């Protein structure tokens, strides 16, 4: 089954404790992206990757890091989480860049709470 | 003003009552996505369209490129159609989607 998986689905952590949210897709997609969703602000792009070892900042990259060492995986790293990073996070993948005419596949979401 | 605006923000209707959600955008596009987000949080793609109309079951999406406007219609909605519906516009060259704020749809039995 074609899918994007994320782990963990729910996470409560404390300020400053490094964490990683994993994302994996089994569709051999080149393009992957991370979004955060906040009430009243909708979905906003954090980082994206065009292919292995090719990543770039989205609209709200501050406080986040990513890596793309393998085509299928695109982890999101919070080196020192702060309460303003409490949000619902989505990973997405597609065969071509999001700006092209192609379907987007979203992961199930990770609800992160930073206290 | 947001680049992608949806209306209404909230919509409550009775089961079987035809509903329409609107999306207007100010950025140039090649296509527009309609997405559905269920209360559990997951997002699924409903439609991707660049012209005219697409239909999938009771869902119909239309787009008018000249007027930069798209609509999502649900004929005879069920309570299980209750969800947040989001339109998203691809930004060519910027490698991203710009999302509307979403429309929270509640269908009462």
pLDDT at B28 over 70: no
pLDDT at position B65 is: 87
pLDDT at position B27 is: 78
Interval A45-84: pLDDT, tens: 999 999 999 999 999 999 999 999 999 999 999 999 999 9
List CB contacts (< 8 A) between B87 and chain A: none
How many CB pairs (< 8 A) connect A and B? 70
Q: Cα distance from A42 to chain B (closest Cα, Å)?
A: 5
- B96 with A48: Cβ contact below 8 A: yes
pLDDT at position A49 is: 95
List CB contacts (< 8 A) between B31 and chain A: 101
Kindly provide the residue ranges of all beta strands, DSSP E only, lying in chain B, ordered along the sequence.
4-7, 10-14, 19-25, 32-37, 43-49, 52-56, 59-64, 69-74, 83-91, 96-99, 103-108
Contact B71, B41 (CB under 8 A): no
pLDDT at B1 over 70: no
List CB contacts (< 8 A) between A111 and chain B: 41
Q: Could you say which of A98, A106, A107 has the minimum Cβ distance to residue B95?
A: A98
Residue A34 touches chain B, beta carbons under 8 Å: no
Q: Cα distance from B102 to chain A (closest Cα, Å)?
A: 7
- Retrieve residue B32's tokens: 């527009």
How far apart CA B6 and CA A112 sit, in angstroms, is: 27
Interval A39-50: pLDDT, tens: 888 899 999 999
pLDDT at position A43 is: 93
Residue A11 touches chain B, beta carbons under 8 Å: no
| A18: DSSP letter | -
Residue among B43, B47, B22, B15 at smallest CA distance from B34? B47
Give the mean model confidence (pLDDT) for residues B22-40: 87
- Retrieve residue A23's tokens: 């994302």
Give the mean model confidence (pLDDT) for residues B20-25: 96
- Retrieve residue A29's tokens: 């997609």
Q: Could you say which of B41, B50, B102 has the minimum Cβ distance to residue A108?
A: B41
Interval B61-79: pLDDT, tens: 999 988 899 999 999 999 9
pLDDT at position B97 is: 87
Confidence band of B59 (pLDDT split at 50, 70, 90)? very high
Interval A88-113: pLDDT, tens: 999 999 998 877 778 889 999 999 99
pLDDT at position A111 is: 96
| Helix/strand/coil percent split, chain A, to 5 | 5, 50, 45
- Retrieve residue A64's tokens: 């986040």
Residue A88 touches chain B, beta carbons under 8 Å: yes
Task: Determine the residue among B7, B36, B83, B95 to mutate to test chain A binding: the one whose Cβ has the most chain A Cβ atoms within 10 Å.
Answer: B95
pLDDT at position B66 is: 87
Residue among B104, B109, B98 at smallest CA distance from B36? B104
Residue of B nearest to A45 (CA): B96
Non-local (6+) Cβ contacts of B57 within 8 A are: none
Cis previous bond, A8, omega within 30: yes
pLDDT at position A25 is: 97
């Amino acid at each position: 089954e074609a899918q994007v998986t994320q782990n963990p689905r729910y996470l409560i952590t404390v300020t400053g404790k490094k964490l990683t949210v994993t994302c994996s897709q089994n569709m051999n997609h080149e393009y992957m992206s991370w979004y955060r969703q906040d009430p009243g602000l909708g979905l906003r792009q954090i980082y994206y990757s065009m292919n292995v070892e090719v990543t770039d900042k989205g609209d709200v990259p501050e406080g986040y890091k990513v890596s793309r060492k393998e085509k299928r995986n695109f982890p999101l790293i919070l080196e020192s989480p702060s309460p303003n990073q409490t949000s619902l996070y989505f990973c997405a993948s597609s065969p071509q860049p999001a700006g092209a005419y192609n379907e987007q596949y979203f992961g199930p979401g990770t609800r992160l709470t930073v206290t | 003003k947001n680049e992608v605006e949806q209306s209404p923000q909230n919509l409550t209707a009775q089961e079987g009552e035809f509903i329409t959600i609107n999306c207007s955008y100010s950025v140039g596009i090649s296509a527009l996505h309609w997405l559905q987000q269920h209360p559990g949080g997951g997002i699924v793609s409903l439609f991707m369209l660049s012209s005219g109309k697409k239909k999938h079951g009771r869902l119909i999406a239309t787009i008018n490129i000249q007027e930069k406007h798209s609509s999502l219609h649900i004929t005879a909605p069920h309570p299980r159609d209750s969800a947040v519906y989001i339109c998203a516009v691809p930004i060519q060259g910027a490698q991203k989607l710009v999302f509307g704020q979403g429309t929270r749809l509640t269908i009462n039995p």
